[in-house]
Amino acid sequence: MIDNHILAPIFVQLFTAIAQLICWRKTLTQRYLSVGGSLIGLMVAFRLFSRVYEGGILTLNAANWDAPFGIVFVADLLSVTLVLLTSIACFAVSIFSSVGLSRQRMLYGYFPIFHFLIMGLHGAFLTGDIFNLYVYFEVIIISSFVLMTLGGRKAQLEGAVKYMAMNILASMFFLTGIGILYGITGSLNMADLSLRIQEVQNKTLVGITSCFFIIGFGIKSAVFPLYYWLPSSYHTPPSAVAATFGGLLTKVGIYAMLRIFSLIFVPDDFTRTLLMAIAVFTILTGAFGALIKTNIRRLFSYLIVCHIGFMVGGIAMFSKAALMGAVFYLIHDIMVKTNMFLIAGLIRQLRGTMDMNKLGGLYGDYPKISLLIAVVLFSLVGIPPLSGFWPKVFLFQEAFTQHQYFYVAALIIGSFVTLYVIAKMWSEVFWKNPPASEEMENLFAPMPPYKKILMVLPIGLLALATLYIGLNAEAIVKVTDIISTQLMDPSAYIDAVLGNKTD
Amino acid sequence: MELLLVLILGLLYAAGVYLILRRSMVKLLLGIMLLGNGANILIFVLGKITKGSPPVINEAYKVFQEIYADPIPQALILTAIVISFGLTSFAIVLLKRVYALVDSDDLDNLNTPEEEDI
């Protein structure tokens, strides 16, 4: 069904950013515009989600060019779910950054760039054209470069060099892959590619092309041999930026993998084994890295890597239950990881540091905030019935069915290490007596009450979303069930795109 | 023509990868630029080069009568050039700034102990 509303989430972010560019240097107006724009974006995304959930896949042929020739935008349930989650995260982060960010950064255009980044994310989720996906990836990375370097401290710029080099390299791999793919099929439309790739005689070349995509998306989503840029750069930018990056950017890589490997390169035995090996090592290295870190944000960075492995493993098993687990985990992970970095920012605001050795006694001083944070931490660990628990059920079940015992072992180790480091963090940060040092600076207490509320509110919002995902898991399972059915059998997607002739 | 382009793009990729593996920041930048150009030529070659037949239909006909040059790879390359231009100029400014702060061209020196900010 052709529907122009697909572009609405992209346009809301675009116009918000443009309006903020007009109000350059008026940071208060920019803050109002940012929160307002995000709220409208959230409502639009919710409307698009309910339309697709009830009415099936929507498509839009740009400039009315028929499907395989023009650029096509497709809103299937996976895309709109991610657009909805991105909008929720965007809303929370924009509230947080309106108080949690120094005015200096706002003066140099933090808010417009942030909304361009979200626009890029929406575009990447909604496009049905592989070159257009590349262009949106570039929109995302150029915005993220600016956000990463904004402020210009030494550590930040050093982190940015690594981040930039790896991401540009990933784009080059992706572009090379697209070039070869166009050479062997003569199409860029993903639905059309799905049909044409089956007619290619030279299967080896197809396999090699898929490796380019694995490397390109692997760097972006930070999987095992390619993840080093993430822990060495994510602890440097301000927490609001780190929350956007940690919650959303690596997940775009996972989304692209889900899309490309379900639609174009349906995994054969080699790809499955490769992805499974990547997944196991990603979980293990992420988990062991998290064990030794004392800085909260570095610890979270390694946990991101560890949990990316869970999802890659789900893609590697490539069955309905496995994809349900992977998509459910993706939904849970976006909400929780965004929140974790916001929490890190709040802790830094309360105590002036993120080093666990220098922290302590938060529970005694701020019991309510601590309890709120506890809910999020429990969800991350996956204590039943909270949100991290349900996807693991699917992943374990499918791993046993397919006899992937290495993955089972990695899942258990990954989950236990997550539990251990979070428990350690809880006792170090919240229960331990604060170390008797005078350098502790509380930036939170002198803030006016409305600012305090604005700082805790986004964490509460995201915690509510996490609670909803956990306690109302049946609804989420229904959604993931439809998504994984669409992913396993892409004929609905292909029909929706190619069956829509305008004449 | 194809053979020449294939050789050039192989050379560009090889030189790009070699330069990226070096420790110098400037070489990293050059490597990225060479890889980008290599990728552009790759798209051009794989789009099947057709000489002297532009994708314009004769007035008398409704469809193409013979093989024509595919315009899509050129559109793709144009987009990719513009994007890599933007990225490269950002990278140059970033590396210049880092060089001014760290006073070193060596990528291994980029490990300042963490400082914190919200």
Residues 6+ apart with CB under 8 A from B109: B102
On average, the pLDDT of chain A sits at 88
Burial class (CB within 10 angstroms; exposed 0-12, middle 13-18, buried 19+) of A122? buried
Evaluated on CA atoms A401, A403, A408, A410, the torsion sign reads negative
Q: Within a 10 A sphere around the Cβ of B54, how many other Cβ atoms?
A: 9
Residue-wise pLDDT for A114-131, tens only, equals 999 999 999 999 998 999
Residue A437 pLDDT: 63
How distant is the Cα of A348 from the closest Cα of chain B, in angstroms?
A: 6
- A149 interfacial to chain B (CB closer than 8 Å): yes
Shortest distance, CA A96 to any CA of chain B (angstroms): 11
pLDDT at A502 over 70: no
Give pLDDT, residue A1.
Answer: 63
The rounded distance, in Å, linking the Cα atoms of A193 and A260 is: 10
Q: What is the pLDDT of residues A440-482, one digit of tens each?
A: 677 777 788 888 888 889 999 999 999 999 888 889 999 999 9
| CB nearest to A182's CB, from B20, B25, B43 | B43
Predicted confidence at residue A276, as pLDDT, reads: 92
Q: Higher confidence at residue A358 or residue A276?
A: A276
DSSP string spanning A194-257?
A: HHHGGG-S-HHHHHHHHHHHHHHHHHHHT-GGG-TTTTTTTTSS-HHHHHHIIIIIHHHHHHHH
Number of helical H runs and strand E runs in chain A: 21, 2
Indicate yes or no: CB of A155 within 8 angstroms of CB of B20: no
| Contact status of A235 with chain B (Cβ, < 8 Å) | yes
> What does the pLDDT look like over A66-107, one tens digit per residue?
878 888 999 999 999 999 999 999 999 999 998 888 788 888
Do the Cβ atoms of B42 and A151 come within 8 Å?
no
Out of B35, B36, B46, whose CB is closest to A183?
B46
Query: For chain B, what percentages of helix, strand and coil (3-state, to nearest 5) are there?
Result: 65, 0, 35
Distance CA A111, CA A121 (A): 15
Task: Note whether A23 contacts B: Cβ–Cβ < 8 A.
Answer: no
d(CA A376, CA A359): 19
Residue A501 has pLDDT above 70, yes or no: no
What's chain B's Rg over C-alpha atoms? 21
Instruction: List all residues 6 or more positions away from A203 whose beta carbon is below 8 Å from its beta carbon.
Output: none
CB proximity A294 to B under 8 Å: no
Query: Taking CB atoms and an 8 Å cutoff, what residues of chain B touch A154?
Result: 101-102, 112, 115
Question: Residue A153 pLDDT > 70, yes or no?
Answer: yes
The model's confidence at residue B118, banded by pLDDT at 50, 70 and 90, is: very low
A295–B contact, CB cutoff 8 A: yes
Residue A281 has a pLDDT of: 93
**CA A137 to chain centroid:** 13
Q: Which helix (H) or strand (E) holds A191?
A: helix A190-196
Judged against a pLDDT cut of 50, whether residue A287 lies above it is answered with yes
Is A455 an interface residue toward B (CB < 8 Å)?
Answer: no
Lowest model confidence (mean pLDDT) among A167-171, A260-264, A383-387, A396-400: A383-387
Q: For residue A189, what is the DSSP state?
A: B
Cis amide leading into A435 (omega within 30): no
**Cβ within 8 Å, pair B32-A172:** yes
Q: pLDDT at residue B81 above 50? A: yes
Torsion sign, CA atoms A374, A378, A381, A386 = negative
Helices marked H in A56-109 — which ranges?
77-100, 103-107
* pTM, rounded to two decimals: 0.92
CA separation for the pair A122, A16 (Å, rounded): 14
B72, B79, B91 ranked by CB distance to A164: nearest: B91
Q: Looking at residue B55, what DSSP letter applies?
A: S
Q: What angle do CA A390, A394, A399 make, to 5 degrees?
A: 140
Can you tell me the ipTM of this complex? 0.91
B10 or A364, higher pLDDT: B10
Q: How far is Cα A191 from Cα A493, in angstroms, rounded to an integer?
A: 7
Residue A503 has pLDDT above 50, yes or no: no
How far apart, in whole angstroms, are the C-alpha atoms of residue A498 and residue A189? Answer: 10
> Residue A124 half-sphere exposure, CB side, CA atoms within 13 Å?
30
Which chain A residues have a beta carbon less than 8 Å from that of B36? 172
Task: With beta carbons under 8 A apart, name residues in chain B contacting A355.
Answer: 116
Whether the pLDDT of residue A40 is over 70: the answer is yes
Amino acid at A7: L
Closest-CA distance of chain B to residue A155, Å: 6
Structure tokens at A206: 């197809």
Strand partners, A129: A189
Structure tokens at A466: 């996490």
In DSSP terms, A73 is beta-bridged to: A60, A127
Spatial contact of B98 and B25, defined as CB atoms under 8 Å apart:
yes
DSSP-based three-state secondary structure for A58? strand
Rounded alpha-carbon distances, angstroms, from residue A195 to A189, A363, A490, B49: 10, 58, 10, 25
Backbone angles phi, psi at A443, to 5 degrees: -90, -10
Judged by CB atoms closer than 8 Å, whether chains meet at A101 and B118 is answered as yes
Q: With contact defined as beta carbons under 8 Å apart, do A209 and A180 qualify? A: yes
| Banded model confidence at residue B51, pLDDT cuts 50, 70, 90 | confident
* Residue A148 and residue A232 in contact, taking contact as beta carbons nearer than 8 Å: no
Residue A250 in this model has a pLDDT that exceeds 70: yes
Write out the two tokens for B92: 């140059």
* Predicted pLDDT at A419: 92
Contact criterion met (CB < 8 Å) for A165 and B76: no
Chain B residues lying within 8 Å of A152, measured CB to CB: 97
Between residues A354 and A326, the one the model is more confident about: A326
Report the run of H or E that residue A59 belongs to, with start and end: strand A58-61
* Residues in A touching B43 (Cβ below 8 Å): 175, 178-179, 182-183
Quick one: average pLDDT of B58-70? 79
Please determine, for residue A246, whether its predicted confidence score (pLDDT) is greater than 90. no
